[in-house]
Amino acid sequence: MTLRLSTLCYLALLSACSVDGTAASSAEPTERSAPSDGARVEVAEVQHVPAELRMGLTGEIKGLRDANLASSQGGFVEAVSVRTGAEVRKGQTLMTVDRQLHAAGYAQAKAQSELAAAEFARLRRMGDAVSASQLQQAETQAKVTEAGLAQARVQLSRASIVAPFDGVVSAVNIEEGEIAPPGNGLLRVVQLDPVRVMLAVSDREVVALEEDLPVVVTASAIGQQLEGRIRQISPVGDGRTRSFQVEVEVPNPDRKLLPGMVARVELSRMLGEHIVVPSDWIVSTPGGYGVFVEVDGSAKWRPVELGRVLRNQVVVEGGLSPGDAVIMVGHRELIDGDSVLVSRRGVCCDRGRVQYEALGGS
């Protein structure tokens, strides 16, 4: 449904100049008289042809995951355990910030919690010898110190900066003995296998893409082709550039593809045999989409059902049959039933190009 809506929106833009009633169906009234000698047009006989999606796009390589790690609390940098370029594993400690201080705070909170819990347990054993208010106060104190212990545990865990995934350290921005500001990036870890190629795709092309489509990725820096797949297509376009972000995932076991490189993404997909016509042959009306077909010297309006958009072409899923002579030049000025004079005939289409007959063609 999303693809169909995108197709219709795209064709509405292409055909905006043809609305306002110039492509009305036979049921729509009009007062204009057709030229007595017929409008001059060019037509192309449509056939079933192999529909192929072919696209080439350029993008930037990035790590599949890229984390800029910081200390949420800040403090004294006690240890830096890695250097730039080091391979790290998920959960590995990379740096400690005020860990000794937070360890002392945790030990203090633990002692207070244990003391309060023991006091609450002692008063409960005393039964009626203890007032309800004393028991309630002891219980509250035990809960407060237990919460303080949980807080100290979290602070202690955050004093150690650990790798969130397997990857490579791409930057270390601080040294032992320095004071780390809260929230400032201290280390950067990037996952290099696989990598992503980030593409900015126009609305005209993104409607032809689907997640998991296979692609071929090349980078001039390595001089070889790698296989990848479309991992994600942004459902919302950039408001400034009107482009959609597409992520391509590429296995990179040898780590030859590095973040910052430029890569070329090529995709080719056969979609079977269909009637495929250039998008500008389609005329839009308030009632839908259609084309004009030449029949015995007259222009006949033919509503069509549209399918996938293939860059500047569109698949016609209904309304046309092989052998129909679609009017491709002069169709914007026609109404149903106009007389036409065919100045040139061709056959549609070879990779979007009309093949003309030898007589009167080019």
Per-residue pLDDT of 190-233, as tens digits, reads: 999 999 999 999 887 787 788 999 999 998 888 888 999 999 99
Per-residue pLDDT of 133-156, as tens digits, reads: 999 999 999 999 999 999 999 999
Mean pLDDT value of segment 89-114: 96
- Give the count of alpha carbons within 13 A of 310, CB side only: 23
Q: For the chain, give every domain's residue range.
A: 2-51+272-356, 55-65+192-270, 67-98+159-191, 102-155
Per-residue pLDDT of 305-336, as tens digits, reads: 988 877 788 889 899 999 999 999 999 889 89
Tokens of 10: 């795209």
Q: In this model, does residue 29 exceed pLDDT 50?
A: no
Whether residue 300 contacts residue 291, with contact meaning beta carbons closer than 8 Å, is answered with no
Q: How much is the pLDDT for 325?
A: 94
Classified by CATH at the fold level, domain 67-98+159-191 comes out as: OB fold (Dihydrolipoamide Acetyltransferase, E2P) (2.40.50)
**Amino acid at site 214:** P
Classified by CATH at the fold level, domain 2-51+272-356 comes out as: 2.40.420
Tokens of 332: 């914007």
Q: How much is the pLDDT for 181?
A: 93
Which CATH number applies to 55-65+192-270? 2.40.30.170
Secondary structure of residue 32 in the 3-state scheme? coil
Q: Is 288 or 198 the better-scoring residue by pLDDT?
A: 198
Q: Is 36 or 22 the better-scoring residue by pLDDT?
A: 36
Q: In this model, does residue 15 exceed pLDDT 70?
A: no
Q: Give me the chain's average pLDDT, please.
A: 86
Mean pLDDT value of segment 167-173: 95
Domains 2-51+272-356 and 55-65+192-270 share a fold: no
Whether residue 345 contacts residue 325, with contact meaning beta carbons closer than 8 Å, is answered with yes
Whether residue 182 contacts residue 71, with contact meaning beta carbons closer than 8 Å, is answered with yes
